Amino acid sequence: MAHEFPIRVYYEDTDLAGIVYYANYLKFIERGRSEFVRALGVDQVALKADHGVVFAVRRVEADYLRPAKFDDELVVTTDLVAETGARFVMEQTVQRDGEVLFTAQVTIVCLNEAGAAQRLPADIRRKLAPKLH
């Protein structure tokens, strides 16, 4: 089951026409991913402190389907679809009243403090594994 995170569109999120500026969808889905990881019980600050590992976006493939507007109530859904040793892939949507406005497939990589690929710690992989469909 996908994780859901509600967001309201504020004036600062929009352009002069009152439509959400395209780059802000990336902010919305970032928040959704952060809340998804938090809901799994993964503390990203502790992950860095204990294992020297951070998450970074490697790739985003996005489709803008319909505009969101000022004061809309949106829901960001996040679903884990693949995981390997040092990366995982998430599918995300932004919806308004069940209508999909935006979709993205996001590849996240795990990096060590030097910026090189790093395997996910086993305890984190165990938390992610049940979320794969």
Query: How far are the Cα atoms of 20, 48, 56, 79, 122 from residue 92, in angstroms, in the given order?
Result: 17, 25, 16, 6, 25
Q: Is 123 a catalytic residue?
A: no
Token pair of 35, please? Answer: 């809340």
Contact call for residues 106 and 29 (beta carbons, < 8 A): yes
DSSP label of 20: B
Query: How far are the Cα atoms of 24, 46, 84 from residue 50, in angstroms, in the given order?
Result: 32, 6, 21
Q: Which of 13, 15, 79, 97 is catalytic?
A: 15
* Active site members: 15
